[in-house]
């Protein structure tokens, strides 16, 4: 039974409660808006500060010399090429050979109509492929005698006109843009710092040979007459050829070697030929008389060498204490799945590695990063092949903050800049980086110098950039110094 003694609130009381609630809500609106504005302002200011300090990483360029210095004379080049070919013959890597024939379309000329020229250009592509395929591709497997498909250059200094070696390139240390030539300022990212010199993994040689008939006959097969005999059956269903003339205009050899091992990667014998002939196309609409046609041709014998190896997907790895990451290994041999890879660590107190290449970092026991080498190896054809990855265990620097980004001084005045590093780019990580030191640099010591403590000394009127570079991961933060 319902309690009839319960007193219901009257209408006036309800209205009063609603008015009080509305007053409280109105009072809260300014507080909420103020808090949101503060959050936005702090975030905006912090974001600006973060951007000012996010200049990227600027690691030094480490130039590792090759096993053999770059040849400087024709005699040195001849000895080097002959030597790496002999070494390949002795080691018996997997070797493939193919012959390539190409016509320079831009060089095609004819004294006939434009239609005749267009018809010839139309016939070139299928003819090129058919002629190239006329020389059977050949190859030998690992451990087999390659002398059946490879002819040795046996060059002397007298055979060489000139040569070049391509192995140097330049890279922006800010955005990674590369160039074959030195660059003082990056147009891609706007960095004011010159590109750093780097070395490629391979030497790439181009050797221009003397245009000697005996050299051409010895090194370049098939000979020109053989090429003409291959051209005829491909062209004559469409056109009759007569008065065929050819002249060798250039001989060269290109080859690549691994700089670290001198292993031969490829060897290309390249011949340039200028050819002409009277051509009568079997189409009455293109004329009944032969037209004089000419074109420049190239012929190449291409040898490719594949050496047994195990190749890791990375050769440097940084892990935080307790973290785990996999390194993968590619086996290069006749049947990769048939060979087992053995993984080892040079110091298991620093990192351990399992049979699948998973590397786990241990704990840091001091103030310095831990270092160990992880190696993968396998046995093939009676030899052991291996590759290694240098593993560093540390809490990495991911951010550097400078207290000033613009500084104006009179000559003779000093001021000390303060640089702080952190283990994340928000600047307030729970763990401090293992390496907390920084190095100081100036772009113009005649304007301003800086010592190892970040103390800037104004020298003479002008502008210089003073920057701190974290000794770990090479993060940079700069201050523009104006001396009045």
Residue 108 · residue 293 · CB < 8 Å:
yes
Write the CB contacts of 124 (distance below 8 Å, at least 6 apart in sequence): 103, 105, 108
pTM, two decimals, is 0.79
Label residue 194 by pLDDT band (50, 70, 90).
Answer: confident
Nearest alpha-carbon partner for 266 in 205, 323, 192: 205
Residue 388 pLDDT = 97
The architecture CATH gives domain 399-483: Sandwich (2.60)
Q: What is the pLDDT of residues 269-318, one digit of tens each?
A: 999 999 888 888 766 555 567 888 889 999 999 999 999 999 999 999 99
Residue 88 · residue 264 · CB < 8 Å:
yes
Residue 289 pLDDT = 72
Distance between CA 275 and CA 255 in Å, rounded?
Answer: 27
Mean pLDDT calculated for residue range 330-339: 94
Residue 430 pLDDT = 62
- According to CATH, where is 2.60.40.1080 located in the chain? 309-393, 399-483
Provide the CB-side half-sphere exposure for 68 (13 A, CA).
19
CATH match of 309-393 with 2.60.40.1080: yes
Is 462 a residue whose pLDDT tops 90?
yes
Q: What is the pLDDT of residues 336-381, one digit of tens each?
A: 999 999 999 999 999 999 999 999 999 988 889 999 999 999 999 9
Is 8 a residue whose pLDDT tops 60?
no
Q: For residue 408, list its beta bridge partners.
A: 482
Residue 212 pLDDT = 92
Residue 182 pLDDT = 94
Mean pLDDT calculated for residue range 22-47: 54
Provide the CB-side half-sphere exposure for 307 (13 A, CA).
20
């Amino acid at each position: 039974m319902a309690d009839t003694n319960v007193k219901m609130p009257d209408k006036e009381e309800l209205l009063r409660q609603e008015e009080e609630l509305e007053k409280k809500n109105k009072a809260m609106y300014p507080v909420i808006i103020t808090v949101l504005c503060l959050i936005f302002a702090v975030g905006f200011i912090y974001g600006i500060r973060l951007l000012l300090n996010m200049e990227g990483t600027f690691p030094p360029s480490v130039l590792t010399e090759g096993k053999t210095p770059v040849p400087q004379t024709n005699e040195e080049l001849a000895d080097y090429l002959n030597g790496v070919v002999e070494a390949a013959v002795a080691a018996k890597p997997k070797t493939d050979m193919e012959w390539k024939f190409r016509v320079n379309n831009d060089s095609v000329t004819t004294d006939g109509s434009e239609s005749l020229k267009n018809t010839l250009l139309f016939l070139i592509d299928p003819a090129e492929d058919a002629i190239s395929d006329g020389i059977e591709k050949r190859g030998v497997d690992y451990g087999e005698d390659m002398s059946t498909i490879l002819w040795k250059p046996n060059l002397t200094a007298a055979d060489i006109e000139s040569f070049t070696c391509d192995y140097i390139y330049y890279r922006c240390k800010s955005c990674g843009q590369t160039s074959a030539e030195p660059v003082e300022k990056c147009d891609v990212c706007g960095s004011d710092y010159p590109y750093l010199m780097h070395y490629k993994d391979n030497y790439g040689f181009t050797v221009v040979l003397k245009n000697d008939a005996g050299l051409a006959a010895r090194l370049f097969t098939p000979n020109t007459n053989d090429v003409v005999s291959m051209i005829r059956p491909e062209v004559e269903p469409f056109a009759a050829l007569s008065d065929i003339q050819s002249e060798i205009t250039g001989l060269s050899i290109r080859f690549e070697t691994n700089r670290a091992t001198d292993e031969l990667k490829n060897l290309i014998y390249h011949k340039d030929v200028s050819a002409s002939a009277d051509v009568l196309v079997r189409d009455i609409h293109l004329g009944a008389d032969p037209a004089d046609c000419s074109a420049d041709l190239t012929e190449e014998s291409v040898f490719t060498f594949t050496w047994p190896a195990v190749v890791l997907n990375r050769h440097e790895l940084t892990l935080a204490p307790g973290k785990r990451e996999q390194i993968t290994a590619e086996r290069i041999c006749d049947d990769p799945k048939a060979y087992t890879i053995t993984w080892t660590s040079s110091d298991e107190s620093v990192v351990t590695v399992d049979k699948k290449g998973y590397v786990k970092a241990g704990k840091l026991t001091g103030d310095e990063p831990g270092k160990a080498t992880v190696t993968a190896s396998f046995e093939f054809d009676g030899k052991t092949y291996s590759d290694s990855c240098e593993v560093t265990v540390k809490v990495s620097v991911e951010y550097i903050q400078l207290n000033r980004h613009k500084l104006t001084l009179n000559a003779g005045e000093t001021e000390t800049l303060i640089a702080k590093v952190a283990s994340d780019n928000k600047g307030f990580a729970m763990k401090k980086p293992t390496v907390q030191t920084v190095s100081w640099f100036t772009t113009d010591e005649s304007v301003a110098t800086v010592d190892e403590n970040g103390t800037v000394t104004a020298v003479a009127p002008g502008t210089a950039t003073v920057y701190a570079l974290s000794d770990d991961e090479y993060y940079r933060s700069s201050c523009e110094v104006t001396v009045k």
